[in-house]
Amino acid sequence: MPIFELIDPAGRVYVMQSMSTQVHQQALETLPGLTAELVLPAGWRYKSAVLSELLVLESTDQTAHVLQYDFRNSYSLWKEPAPLTNGKSCRRHRPSSSRRK
């Protein structure tokens, strides 16, 4: 199953949770090509990936962080960079707010 991510300059990863056709005609098959069409702020990236397992994002016990950009697609925060360790940043595999089934 493909997923589509927006990654901010700090390394936070937001996963697309819904797609809109209000501003731009798009379909699941066209989402990998959005890289060429999006006009993102400096330092932001868009990428697609394929997961081998289902990704479930839960925010029942904490605040959900959702953003929209350009074509009104909605993205939920999935990964945050881990705190700095010895001056080097590292990435968590997944935050406590997400669960894979």
Write the single-letter amino acid at 67.
Answer: L
Domain interval for residue 28: 2-100
Local confidence pLDDT in tens for the 101 residues of the chain: 788 999 999 999 999 888 888 888 888 888 888 888 888 999 999 999 888 888 877 777 778 888 888 788 899 998 777 555 444 443 333 433 333 33
Plot region of 5 (φ>0 → left; ψ -120 to 50 → alpha; else → beta):
beta
Distance between CA atoms of residues 93 and 84, nearest Å: 15
Q: Are 19 and 68 in contact (CB under 8 A)?
A: no
Other C-beta atoms within 10 Å of 35: how many?
13
Domain count, the chain: 1
What is the model's pLDDT at position 31? Answer: 87
